[in-house]
Structure 1
Amino acid sequence: MSVFHFKEFVVNQENCPMKINTDGVLLGALCDVQKAKSICDIGTGTGVIALMLAQRNHESKIDALDIDYRAVDTASMNFQNSLFHDRLSAHHHSFIEFFEMHPTKKYNLIVSNPPFFLNALKSPHHQTNLAKHTDESFFIDLLRIASTHLHENGSLEIIVPLEISLLLQHLANDYYLHLERKIIVKSFQDKEAFRHILKFQKNPSVEEQTENFIIYEKEGEHSLQYKSALKNFFTIF
């Protein structure tokens, strides 16, 4: 489906290599955006996470970055067609380039639904490679940038597979970032986790918290937890 209708905005994803997916909408719905007046969305794709965060926090201003020009064109169009267009900006830069251009910029929140096929066999299609593949240096750079460009009580929130979660947890302290919350995402209660949503804080205010998030109650039926998280966005709930 090339056009996805949310309750308060519409996402056209026809020309974007990275389509709307479960990871993105979960991060958009579950990350802590309450006090985030300034947000940077790294690897914005269609712009769906930025749009969800703009809906959740009406005071937020969001810079959305992507290295794929088609993604930036798509996100820009979706931003302009939304109620939040004056608070959203799409930029055709890698996050390293963007912060080299804006060395003093700081944010309350940096979010990312990043490429995740760590050191995997790459697709012959260039656009797919850009959207889905990365290596360890990407995450090291992400932690370094977050450490430098977050406000004093700012946070980095990211959704990743478990092996990358372990890597980030291992490296974060080297960049003065501390794990404050981990959401363990499972398809079903009795299945293994397949994603972690990690919240790293510069100055954590609470002890590390761990939560479970279950997507399906049973085959074909979303859990109450999932419905509650997405009820303000999905028209089916």
Structure 2
Amino acid sequence: MAGVFRFKQFGVDQSGCAMKINTDGVLLGALAGEGQSQSILDIGTGTGVIALMLAQRFALAQIDAVEIDDDAAKTGLNNFEGSPYRDRLSVHHQDFNTFFAENPEKRYDIIITNPPFYIDALTSPTAKINQAKHADRNFFEDLIRGISNHLTETGTCWLVLPVNTAAFVETLLIGHHLHLQKTIIIRSYADSEPHRYIIAIGIADTEPTSEQFLIYDAPKVYSRQYIDTLKEFFIVF
């Protein structure tokens, strides 16, 4: 089918979604979480690709996926239903604040989101892309507040963000009894500046760790780190 991105164990139709499959999302899906997580929440699931990757990695997990956009929610649902993990995936067509308000008792081992991350920037020309890419400061304050109330005691929330946005999000943690636990610093090349951080936050006040992640060894030559991270997913590897 045209427009379907084929992974080794599932396919992802991208029609109806402003945000297509991208490096940020697949790295988040491949790197976030650890252990034997059994409950996962994906905020802003879009095509559902991150939720599907987590379903492949965490075989016991039940996954809730929240999506505010109508077309994207339908696309995500179709992708879930066509996957081997359909019985463990649920789409909730609503914003995350409503989902949290309607499910006050739910707690998750992993909360994951590739959120809109341009703050106080020029907006995009279409409404869908604007919604997918741009957020104001209140968005992140609401997000962090909701996360703090819906993580298990040992749970973690993972976000992929531009460096400046990650720094802003970190300033919100102390007011909600959350702590930075891990930072993955993503660079295109060894000599390039970081362009994304994947951060893990949680209730537990542990010593934060950091690691480097390199996408390319040379132009059009993926690093061994990138290949090893995605070889369980990408057909090309």
For 1:62, the equivalent position in structure 2 comes to 63
Matched to 2:99, the amino acid is: F
- Cα pair 1:186 1:192 within 8 Å, conserved: yes
1:131-170 matches, cutoff 5 A: 131-170=132-171
Determine the C-alpha separation between the residues in 1 that align with 2:117 and 2:52.
Answer: 22
- Cα pair 2:151 2:202 within 8 Å, conserved: no
Q: How many angstroms does 1:138 deviate by?
A: 1.1
1:127-206 matches, cutoff 5 A: 127-204=128-205, 206=206
Matched to 1:9, the amino acid is: F
Q: How many angstroms does 1:31 deviate by?
A: 0.6
Task: Indicate yes or no: 2:93 matched with 1:92.
Answer: yes
SS of residue paired to 1:193? coil
For 1:46, the equivalent position in structure 2 comes to 47
Matched to 2:229, the amino acid is: A
Q: How many angstroms does 1:123 deviate by?
A: 2.2
Task: Indicate yes or no: 2:225 matched with 1:225.
Answer: yes
- Cα pair 1:67 1:130 within 8 Å, conserved: no
Determine the C-alpha separation between the residues in 2 that align with 1:175 and 1:35.
Answer: 26
Consecutive unaligned residues of structure 2, counting only runs of 5 or more, are none
Structure 1 runs, 4 residues or longer, greater than 3 Å off? none
Determine the C-alpha separation between the residues in 2 that align with 1:121 and 1:208.
Answer: 33
CA deviation map 1:136-176 (0-9, x unaligned): 11111111111111111111110000111101112212111
Note the aligned Cα RMSD (angstroms): 1.0
Determine the C-alpha separation between the residues in 2 that align with 1:194 and 1:124.
Answer: 23
Q: Count the aligned residue pairs.
A: 236
The normalised TM-score by structure 1 is 0.97
SS of residue paired to 2:168? helix
Determine the C-alpha separation between the residues in 2 that align with 1:97 and 1:148.
Answer: 14
CA deviation map 1:169-219 (0-9, x unaligned): 122121111111100000000000000000001114x42111000000100
Matched to 1:78, the amino acid is: N
- Cα pair 2:111 2:151 within 8 Å, conserved: yes
Q: How many angstroms does 1:116 deviate by?
A: 1.1
Determine the C-alpha separation between the residues in 2 that align with 1:110 and 1:234.
Answer: 23
Identity %: 47
For 1:234, the equivalent position in structure 2 comes to 234
